[in-house]
Structure 1
Amino acid sequence: MQLVVARIGRAHGIRGEVTVEVRTDEPELRLGPGAVLTTDPPEAGPLTIEAGRVHSGRLLLRFAGVRDRSAAEALRNTLLIAEVDPEETPEDPEEFYDHQLVDLDVVTADGTPVGRVTEISHPPGQDLLVVERADGGEVLIPFVHAIVPEVDLAAGHLVVTPPPGLLDVTGGEPADGGSDDGARGSDL
């Protein structure tokens, strides 16, 4: 199973470091020195992480063989992809990998079927479950504990307690999921 764990941003300095947009809840595991990552586009990699550090709140990485600003800038917008055992689960029981959530049935607290998770969207702010309804429509459900209080992987479903109007909208914008309090995590 492959997971997108980061996107390379701009070059930092003149010695080949790059900023990265982290897309994993486990950066110390996925983006540590020695990690070998495949890339999208494939011709940019594979890349081996030589060193990493945090500077002004941003993660900076240096890759083996990337020694100057020009080489680092050439990697901009490249996705970093890690190989993960499909049976592996995040350490935090309230976090899930995207592949664990896709294809789960979605039901309300009273058991009413809503649809099936087809993908996970990761816009800024909070993750969204993209749910295909039985009628062919689509609804976006904020993946926060207040709205998705239960994920039962063994049973193959998740339970939603949607705010009024959330499930009435098909193909539109999701209702406001509130603050980030109770946000749940999902890795790509």
Structure 2
Amino acid sequence: MSSPDVRVVGRVVKPHGIRGELVVDVHTDSPEERFTPGAVLATRARDGASGTVTIAAVRPHTGRLLVTFQDVAGRDAAEALRGLLLLVDAAELTPSDDPEEFYDHELEGLEVVDVRGDRIGVVAEVLHTAASELLAVRRDDGSEVLVPFVTEIVPTVDVAAGRVVVDPPEGLLDA
């Protein structure tokens, strides 16, 4: 990958079965573009080592993907990839035409304030779960709170202004 500006499009969660298939959490709104047989993705392991993988097969599975990489055969080889981040060059990402859709990297780092304008923290990460997306908000004291990324709770996202406005129900931000 020539650019140091890379974006996470997936994370290997765990092996699935005994033939080397892997459960992958998707971190992109375009999995059909990123996760196709023959696609090559850059990788970063938990220890910081980088490399590439080539997708051999992919199929949906309970809100995630089951992916097989070329040259990964068997559960032991798959287990060694646990936690592997799957990356693309940011230059490859096309901007969304929908003002209500955002790439994770557009949200990460934005200041989070409540509807009164009081600072809550900064978006540290966007978590993709089977139920919905969550904003992991890092508070100034170092603690973290998870905020469901739904319009009722996050009515305003202003990427240009660097700000996310939240209207949390009572107790959501209590730590």
TM over 0.5: yes
Aligned partners of 2:104 and 2:126 also within 8 Å: no
Aligned partners of 1:3 and 1:83 also within 8 Å: yes
Aligned partners of 2:11 and 2:24 also within 8 Å: yes
Query: Is 1:150 matched up with 2:161?
Result: no
Alpha-carbon separation, structure 1, partners of 2:94 and 2:44: 23
Alpha-carbon separation, structure 2, partners of 1:105 and 1:90: 21
* Number of equivalenced pairs: 163
Aligned partners of 2:123 and 2:137 also within 8 Å: yes
Query: Is 1:38 matched up with 2:29?
Result: no
| C-alpha distance 119-57 of structure 1, shift in aligned 2 (>3 A) | closer
Aligned partners of 2:13 and 2:83 also within 8 Å: yes
Letter of the 1:117 partner, please give it. Answer: V
Deviation of residue 43 (structure 1)?
5.4
Alpha-carbon separation, structure 1, partners of 2:142 and 2:63: 40
Deviation of residue 45 (structure 1)?
3.9
| C-alpha distance 72-59 of structure 1, shift in aligned 2 (>3 A) | farther
Letter of the 2:30 partner, please give it. Answer: E
Provide the residue aligned with 2:23 in structure 1: 20
| C-alpha distance 82-91 of structure 1, shift in aligned 2 (>3 A) | farther
Q: TM (normalized to structure 2)?
A: 0.70
Deviation of residue 158 (structure 1)?
1.6
Q: TM (normalized to structure 1)?
A: 0.66
Partner SS, residue 122 of structure 1: strand
| C-alpha distance 37-105 of structure 1, shift in aligned 2 (>3 A) | same
Query: Is 1:47 matched up with 2:53?
Result: yes
Between 116-125 and 20-29, report the one with greater CA deviation. 116-125
Provide the residue aligned with 1:120 in structure 2: 125
Alpha-carbon separation, structure 2, partners of 1:119 and 1:164: 22
Alpha-carbon separation, structure 2, partners of 1:28 and 1:115: 35
Provide the residue aligned with 1:59 in structure 2: 65
Which consecutive unaligned segments of at least 5 residues does structure 2 have? 1-5
Alpha-carbon separation, structure 1, partners of 2:114 and 2:62: 43
Deviation per CA, 1:151-185: give whole Å up to 9, x if none. 01112212111212444x2xx2xxxxxxxxxxxxx
Letter of the 1:23 partner, please give it. Answer: V
Over the aligned positions, Cα root-mean-square deviation in angstroms equals: 3.2
| C-alpha distance 64-153 of structure 1, shift in aligned 2 (>3 A) | same
Q: Decide which structure has the larger Cα Rg and report it.
A: 1
Deviation per CA, 1:5-62: give whole Å up to 9, x if none. 1315224454x4x132222232212211222122232658411112223468763323
